[in-house]
Structure 1
């Protein structure tokens, strides 16, 4: 019997390209926010459009529309009520996430439960032009339902994509990997990610070293991954100094023009104008 040959591939060890610390600003008595990813640097952050770290109480946001994007909300603390025009309402608890595909158009609102101080991350993900007008979709990603394992002092939970043998059932238009790591002091993990992906880490607690050059990072900092050097598979080494909680987000760049106005993200000015016309005319959600 002829033995089948195994497929071998080179794994490229990524470094950290740059590190920065988002600054929280007090918008009101009930809302403080840090901009984790600044909107407008579309090519640099592709496929990510922006990310906010919100601390808020009830009453910050009213019902509002979206078109042409996916929003990804991760709950750090508190209880969040959510409503959208396609899937009704529900609650998100600490450790849960939600993945909303706005597509052609959706109205929604996120609001802290009465008496709660909600601590959350919300990421906006771009989608390719040919899928901008896809039907809306909503997914609850419950913390106890996500693929996860604890090994060598590292708790790994995959909310989207595949990492180190764990694959999430989450449906994405743009390929995105989203992973939560909770690490004991002195532990390490080396997640493998597609070499073509762009991505970043956001440290929520603790400190450690990251990447092939052992770049230091601490709570509150964003660490952007260096290039995957066109490798099929790349990885990022993560070592914890103490107890550490860190989020990893990577995604496949789209490489298309971006035109964004408020809650709408399309490819041309004409498409943005049409979105506002549809919303005013009451045909947005048809």
Structure 2
């Protein structure tokens, strides 16, 4: 075990930035791009991540095709409605997974007068899975396993992390962990060395990676990884908290390495497939509205 431990790759922060926000028209309130879509090739298998503050009426009935979404609720309440009869309310710390597959039609709304504050990640589907069935899964914060360690804890929503398995059942496996640290605490997060990974700082002040890059709230970083390595080997990513109540989300997944066309609510491999998606939606093939 000790020899294997010595061989583990130590990850660096490869790139980092802070989210820039803009006010948008009511009932939407503010938006920022955590992962801007024009850099999707750098983030593969992740396409984009948006951070939104919004009230009811912003994301009513709409379609999707060709990818998955992972929505983390930071604050407020989020009501999910889909045209297969699904309806639920998610609260801060909860996560929803959706496989849009071939024909999703749903709404994501603030509840009552709440301002919903969410992070929504778009996770690509490889070409051979873009026709899969639509599905949804809600992961409530208390149902995600938590591993405590000196000075903090890691909560696992998806993937095998810290000796536990997250409850999320994604079509394309990926990891999602929420790491909380007290001031002065350190933690070494382990990920498959071939996974592309990024992080988003929810609160506090932390140093990341072997190069000790400092980030505070709203900071984003991509991590170095060994794309041609061994998928069964783990890598290590060091985190140190400089303030109490420091919290970060870390996402990782295997690059798909396919050209994609993200256009409107659809993500396909060619523009012709995008046109087909719009045609199918207008011809009613996505089913009735989500109300």
Question: Shorter chain as normaliser: what TM range?
Answer: over 0.9
Cα distance between partner residues in 2 of 1:41 and 1:32: 21
Tell me if the contact between 1:87 and 1:138 (Cα under 8 Å) persists in the aligned partners. Answer: no
Contact 2:52 2:119 in 1 (8 A): yes
- In the alignment, does 2:163 pair up with 1:158? no
Answering whether residue 78 of structure 2 is matched by residue 80 of structure 1, we say yes
Q: Which residue is 1:18 aligned to?
A: 15
Q: Residue 64 of structure 1: which of 55, 62, 65 is its match? A: 62
Which has the higher mean CA deviation after the structures are superposed, 126-135 or 144-153? 144-153
Q: Is the 8 A contact 1:158 1:167 kept in 2?
A: yes
Shift of 1:282: 1.1
Counterpart-to-counterpart distance in 1, 2:50 and 2:262: 16
Q: 1:86·1:106 contact (CA, 8 Å) conserved in 2?
A: no
In structure 2, which of residues 104, 107, 119 is the aligned counterpart of residue 106 of structure 1?
104
Partner of 2:225: 227
2:264 maps to what in 1? 262
Give how far 1:162 is off. 1.4
| Structure 1: runs of 5 or more not aligned | none
**Conservation of the 8 A alpha-carbon contact between 2:105 and 2:286:** no
Q: How big is the shift at 1:8?
A: 3.9
Residues 48 and 124, structure 1, Cα contact 8 Å, conserved in 2: yes
Which runs of 5 or more residues in structure 2 are unaligned? none
Distance 1:6 1:212 in 2: 20
Q: Is the CA contact (8 Å cut-off) linking 2:195 and 2:253 kept in structure 1?
A: yes
Equivalent residue pairs, number: 282
Distance, in Å, in 2 between the alignment partners of 1:242 and 1:228 is 31
Does 34-43 or 124-133 show the bigger shift?
34-43
Q: CA RMSD in A?
A: 1.8
Q: Deviations over 1:141-179 (max 9, x none)?
A: 011111112221212111111111121131112221100
CA offsets 1:84-104 (integer angstroms, 9 cap, x no match): 123511100111000000001
**For the Cα contact (< 8 Å) 2:37–2:48, is it kept in 1?**
yes
State the 1:7 CA deviation.
Answer: 9.2
Task: Give the CA deviation at 1:261.
Answer: 1.4
TM-score by length of 2: 0.92
- CA distance in 2 between counterparts of 1:145 and 1:178 reads 14
**Aligned-partner Cα distance in 2 for 1:252–1:87:** 33
Aligned counterpart, 2:168: 170
Conserved in 2, the CA contact under 8 Å of 1:86 and 1:136? no
Query: Does 131-140 or 274-283 show the bigger shift?
Result: 274-283
CA contact (8 A) 1:104 1:285 kept: no
Aligned to 2:248: 246
Cα drift, residue 6 of structure 1: 11
Tell me if the contact between 2:139 and 2:167 (Cα under 8 Å) persists in the aligned partners: no
Instruction: Note the C-alpha offset of 1:215.
Output: 1.1
Shift of 1:42: 2.5
**8 Å contact 2:145–2:155 — kept in the other structure?**
yes
